[in-house]
Structure 1
């Protein structure tokens, strides 16, 4: 990943997925390298999450082909080395719950280190 960021001539690898969605909440979330499973018996998806108003991002690497992610993949819009401006679609419907995907509830499990954090707005 460092080479991708530091070398302006590098191209985005096919294994990389950068998904984004509208995030209309005050809390900020940062989780690096957690394991995300939605069904027992399937391989976990290794993801990193960064969420702050107005967008949330989920970075994946080499996702299992059977794993469906219901968000727009930023990598599908990258031309060449990613320096060219593009128009990105941003859906205002199908907004996931506030704690998705870091706390999936009954439909899955997420394993992460104590370095993950959530910054909440004080009341």
Structure 2
């Protein structure tokens, strides 16, 4: 992996070489597998299963994958999270994984996640599975540790009845 730190305006950007389709399939596969007997038969489940297992499939319609620098030690995996932006009225069902050095949110609606400007893997939604891309990681204006997990003045956070949240707290000492 070759990296390069660049400056775009007032932001520092770290470029990383990845295979976006492989990263997203891996991420969605891990999040879909969270919990026991949680993935019932449905149209949604069939579309995700096809995407994960068939390398020729592009991102499913409506799926957006966001990522950002996550310089914290606490690891988090969340399914069945809903957020609502009070300023715009937009709602987002989200799956999320945070583990240093990156965090990912898979959202199932169009629009930008509220409150922070983060990067997305959307430009590579329909590239070949082995396509190598140079993706930017912003190193300035990093979202706070609990962003999207906890409510703010303009963000409502709702965990579904079957929501699963797994985290490993920072070790003491």
Asked whether the two chains share a fold, i.e. TM above 0.5, the reply is yes
Once the two structures are overlaid, the 10-residue window that deviates more, 47-56 or 3-12, is: 3-12
Larger radius of gyration: 2
Change (3 A) 1:105 1:67: closer
Indicate if the aligned counterparts of 2:78 and 2:95 stay in contact, CA closer than 8 A. Answer: yes
Partner of 2:146: 99
Give the CA deviation at 1:111: 1.0
Please report the RMSD computed on the Cα atoms of aligned residues, expressed in angstroms: 2.2
Distance in 1 (alpha carbons) for counterparts of 2:128 and 2:80: 24
Indicate if the aligned counterparts of 1:77 and 1:88 stay in contact, CA closer than 8 A. Answer: no
Q: Per residue, is there more helix in 1 or in 2?
A: 2
Partner of 2:121: 74
Indicate if the aligned counterparts of 2:59 and 2:126 stay in contact, CA closer than 8 A. Answer: no
Counterpart selection for 2:168 from 116, 119, 122: 119
SS of 2:134's equivalent in the other structure is coil
Q: Given the two structures, how large is their TM-score scaled by the length of structure 1?
A: 0.86
Indicate if the aligned counterparts of 1:31 and 1:48 stay in contact, CA closer than 8 A. Answer: yes
Give the CA deviation at 1:58: 0.5
Distance in 1 (alpha carbons) for counterparts of 2:54 and 2:112: 32
Structure 2: give runs of 5+ residues left out of the alignment.
Answer: 1-47
Once the two structures are overlaid, the 10-residue window that deviates more, 86-95 or 36-45, is: 36-45
Q: Given the two structures, how large is their TM-score scaled by the length of structure 2?
A: 0.63
Once the two structures are overlaid, the 10-residue window that deviates more, 66-75 or 78-87, is: 66-75
Matching of residues 18-37 of structure 1 within 5 Å: 18-37=65-84
Aligned length: 122
Partner of 1:46: 93
